Structure 1
Amino acid sequence: MPWPDPSPRVKELIRRGAEIVLTAPPDLFDEVDAATFSAVDMRPIAEDPELRAFSVRSTHANLIHWASANLRKPGAPVSANTDEPIEAARLITGRGYDEASLDAYRLGQNVAWRRWMRIAFDLTSDVDDLREMLDVTAQSISEFVDATIAATKAQIALERDWLTRTRDSELRGVVALLINGDRIDSRAAENALGYRLVQTHTAAIVWTTVAAPRLTELERVAESLARQVEARERLRIVASPGTVWVWLGGADEALLRTADKAIGAATDLQIAIGSTGHGLDGFRVAHLDALSTQQAMSRLDTDHRVATFADVEGVLLLTKDADRANRFIAHTLGALEHSAPAVREAMRAYLHEQCNASRAAERLFAHRNTVLRRIQRANDLLPRPVQDNPLNVAMALEILYWRGGKAGATAEPGISRH
């Protein structure tokens, strides 16, 4: 909205009103404070002496800041109160509260506005002047509070980033000692990490390669993964702007196959899941296996969103020499290598299910006859029938699977799904 330029008469009214606020008796602030802490959401802050005192100070300071600005330049825009955000951010983040705590500013604004209207009605009975005065000051107060809240939120983001980097730097130091096998007191390590080492661990890495990663999204997926696999405990460390390390204590291993649900719509994220082990050695090996899984997914340039160490352990060995792996695939699969993905995936599922076409159809959510036709088509494309070379065919198809997208998503031209 364009900023209104009030008439000289209204400017004088605003100036006089600001003077009344600045010289008001304590009951003005008492009314604002009572309304601020009456809201249900504000109860935790109202019951914390330090946070309550801060909220009172900041609300009073905002009122005085706005009134002082209007005493100097009545009706002019009022800049954000930048003296408050630094203290607010440190207190809110240090106590674990979120931006909802800033609702105190809105509640204070509502009460202050009601008092301001009473002041305005006492100053003039001219309807036109009153309307103009309230219009100008309503916009002024609203934009001032918006700007102050925005400045405080920005400061909270900076404070959280600093706390995260400081905390995770310390945690990475403890984890480095554990991963390297250095001598460290396990009780002291547990206290530092806030995570028990004498339990079963499954390690995972949530990461992205986008140019501007959203750390909050990575952390959200890490937390979602912990819930998805019903972990009793979790340790989460920011390893870099685009990578979060996770240890899941007491996770249900059977649920690891559903880990892709943790990602949801975040299509630019991937999860590498390591092995599961117990105690200090399990903590270390599980993470190293998660790293190997991540490296395999990266090297193969796969677009699969989730992989476990069990999925790619064999592929890791088979693809250490990329040229030899390419020759192996070409020699083993022949024309099948470049066939429709659905045909390759039907053969892969068939071999995974120990050459049982019915179970392969269930695995692919496809009709059994459709799968049988695809298997026959795949067999026709192989240099040797699958029954003569099942192990090599399975290994070659596995490498191709992890190098690309999910093959079963695309049907072969000319073959119905039913």
Structure 2
Amino acid sequence: MRRGAEIALALPPESMKELDAARSPEFAGQSVAEDPVMFASARRIYRAGVVHWASANILHPGQPVPPYITPDMEHNARELARRGMAALMMSSARAVQTVAWRLWMQIAFQLTRDPSLLEELLDVSARSISAFIDANMLAMSAVVQEEREARQRDSHVERRELVTLILENGQVSAPSASNRLGYPLEQAHYGALIWSEAATPELHRLEEAAKALASSLSAPQPLIILAGPATLWVWCSGGTRVDRQYLEATLRTLPDVRIAMGSSGHGIDGFRRSHLEALTVQRVLGRLNAPAAVVSIEQIRLVALMTQDTKGARYFISQTLGELANASPTLQRSLRAFLQHGCNVTATADALHTHRNTLLRRLERAEALLPRPLADQRLDVGAALEVLAWTRPEADGTE
């Protein structure tokens, strides 16, 4: 048992990725399925659980493992309770248990093939793993119950529930809701989601980003709704365009903070639509594991449509770009810019601050990697490069 626990502590990255990907079928179609904050937290929970259980069995093989409740576990339990999805917590735990048990069986068969020893090892470890997860879930149930009770008296929850009613197209009086929220609904709005995927998110950093968004629009105090331990819903009056340069410069001083923005819309309908657009942006970023810190719906609308079927999008990119899909980001960026500027070499070179001859060499190399001539598939190549661009950091100039 001790030797197996030692091996479990040193599982290869491939095995840990299997654990990271564990989820229950109930997650399919749920909003949490593409929430990058929830997924980042879940990955830390799964790995921490393995380390705790294995470490306990190294010290005391086969003995009961005490519950291990991390801040991430409490945050996720409370967030699922707020969303009315607490049952997903248990089903997710069982999905992780299934993967963990399969990995443990592989370890067990590495250690011995003696039937009696194997039977005893699997029996003891099965009861240990199950008891450990049951104890954790019992503790988490108490957290969920506490959160449900807190909702009834928490003013943040009341504001969130009113906003949720508006977002769900409920019957709401705009003047009354504006008064309760302290924010005029009968105006133009920009909706945004501001979040952090850090292990210990700092709420004041998210609030600073919300104020920076308002400043970038020359707007008064924004409406800020605490949507989760690491997520804010934000609305600002939207009479002007966002000062992207100012906003991006501010975000560089706030590590791990990210902003997804919708387009400007008027009244309650615009309030709702802009938020849903921002939510779409966040889900696309989570789906693609994109590194960008400030993204608007205008930038990613095409990508959102193309990546609804992630597997199909990957196949489209592979078939359209061929070897270019795995080539230098600089080559990809050069060809993408060339297509964006109407295949005008001079305009593209100016936009990229690159010498014309250097650009021509890069374009020639990029086109040589395509499976078919560029002239026969410009739209397809442009779309494929657009999706690919969101999955990589900015090119560093190397080829």
What TM-score does the superposition give when structure 1 sets the normalisation length?
A: 0.56
Checking the alignment, whether the CA contact within 8 Å between 2:238 and 2:265 is kept in structure 1 is: no
What residue number does 1:332 align with?
Answer: 320
**Is the alpha carbon distance of 1:212 and 1:370 closer, same or farther for their aligned partners in structure 2, counting shifts above 3 Å?**
same
What residue number does 1:211 align with?
Answer: 199
What residue number does 1:230 align with?
Answer: 218
Checking the alignment, whether the CA contact within 8 Å between 2:216 and 2:242 is kept in structure 1 is: no
CA deviation profile, 1:323-375 (whole Å, cap 9, x unmatched): 21111111110111111110100111111112122222233233333222211
Checking the alignment, whether the CA contact within 8 Å between 1:202 and 1:248 is kept in structure 2 is: yes
User: Aligned to 1:320, what secondary structure does the other structure show?
Assistant: coil
Number of matched residues?
Answer: 248
Aligned counterpart in structure 2 of residue 374 of structure 1, from 354, 362, 365: 362
Q: Which structure is higher in RCO with an 8 Å CA cutoff and minimum separation 6? A: 2
Cα RMSD between the aligned structures?
Answer: 1.9
Unaligned runs of 5+ in 1: 1-161, 413-418
Checking the alignment, whether the CA contact within 8 Å between 2:196 and 2:231 is kept in structure 1 is: yes
What residue number does 1:153 align with?
Answer: none
What residue number does 2:86 align with?
Answer: none
Checking the alignment, whether the CA contact within 8 Å between 1:232 and 1:250 is kept in structure 2 is: no
What residue number does 2:110 align with?
Answer: none
For residues 228 and 370 of structure 1, what CA distance do their matches in structure 2 show?
36
CA deviation profile, 1:170-219 (whole Å, cap 9, x unmatched): 21121011101111111111011111111111111111111110000111
For residues 299 and 281 of structure 2, what CA distance do their matches in structure 1 show?
9
Aligned counterpart in structure 1 of residue 163 of structure 2, from 169, 172, 175: 175
For residues 392 and 246 of structure 2, what CA distance do their matches in structure 1 show?
20
Question: Is 1:255 aligned to 2:226, yes or no?
Answer: no
CA deviation profile, 1:244-265 (whole Å, cap 9, x unmatched): 1111102522534753223122
What residue number does 2:277 align with?
Answer: 289
Question: Is 1:392 aligned to 2:384, yes or no?
Answer: no
Checking the alignment, whether the CA contact within 8 Å between 2:210 and 2:224 is kept in structure 1 is: yes
CA deviation profile, 1:263-316 (whole Å, cap 9, x unmatched): 122231111111221111000010011011100001100111121111222111
For residues 194 and 339 of structure 1, what CA distance do their matches in structure 2 show?
51
What residue number does 1:270 align with?
Answer: 258
Aligned counterpart in structure 1 of residue 397 of structure 2, from 379, 391, 410: 410
For residues 354 and 266 of structure 2, what CA distance do their matches in structure 1 show?
39
For residues 158 and 318 of structure 2, what CA distance do their matches in structure 1 show?
49
User: Aligned to 1:275, what secondary structure does the other structure show?
Assistant: coil
Checking the alignment, whether the CA contact within 8 Å between 1:233 and 1:250 is kept in structure 2 is: no
Aligned counterpart in structure 2 of residue 301 of structure 1, from 275, 280, 289: 289
Deviation at 1:389, TM superposition (A): 0.8
Aligned counterpart in structure 2 of residue 348 of structure 1, from 333, 336, 360: 336
Aligned counterpart in structure 1 of residue 389 of structure 2, from 401, 406, 412: 401
**Is the alpha carbon distance of 1:315 and 1:258 closer, same or farther for their aligned partners in structure 2, counting shifts above 3 Å?**
farther
For residues 399 and 259 of structure 1, what CA distance do their matches in structure 2 show?
24
For residues 382 and 222 of structure 1, what CA distance do their matches in structure 2 show?
43
For residues 223 and 242 of structure 2, what CA distance do their matches in structure 1 show?
20
For residues 364 and 239 of structure 2, what CA distance do their matches in structure 1 show?
40
**Is the alpha carbon distance of 1:331 and 1:284 closer, same or farther for their aligned partners in structure 2, counting shifts above 3 Å?**
same
For residues 174 and 357 of structure 1, what CA distance do their matches in structure 2 show?
53
**Is the alpha carbon distance of 1:373 and 1:252 closer, same or farther for their aligned partners in structure 2, counting shifts above 3 Å?**
farther
**Is the alpha carbon distance of 1:257 and 1:181 closer, same or farther for their aligned partners in structure 2, counting shifts above 3 Å?**
farther
**Is the alpha carbon distance of 1:250 and 1:316 closer, same or farther for their aligned partners in structure 2, counting shifts above 3 Å?**
closer
User: Aligned to 2:256, what secondary structure does the other structure show?
Assistant: coil
The runs of at least 4 aligned residues of structure 1 exceeding 4 Å deviation read none
For residues 256 and 354 of structure 1, what CA distance do their matches in structure 2 show?
24
CA deviation profile, 1:130-150 (whole Å, cap 9, x unmatched): xxxxxxxxxxxxxxxxxxxxx
Unaligned runs of 5+ in 2: 1-149
For residues 232 and 370 of structure 2, what CA distance do their matches in structure 1 show?
42
**Is the alpha carbon distance of 1:380 and 1:391 closer, same or farther for their aligned partners in structure 2, counting shifts above 3 Å?**
same
User: Aligned to 1:253, what secondary structure does the other structure show?
Assistant: coil
User: Aligned to 2:262, what secondary structure does the other structure show?
Assistant: strand
User: Aligned to 1:237, what secondary structure does the other structure show?
Assistant: strand
User: Aligned to 1:272, what secondary structure does the other structure show?
Assistant: strand
For residues 192 and 353 of structure 2, what CA distance do their matches in structure 1 show?
28
User: Aligned to 1:403, what secondary structure does the other structure show?
Assistant: coil
User: Aligned to 2:263, what secondary structure does the other structure show?
Assistant: strand
For residues 245 and 380 of structure 2, what CA distance do their matches in structure 1 show?
25
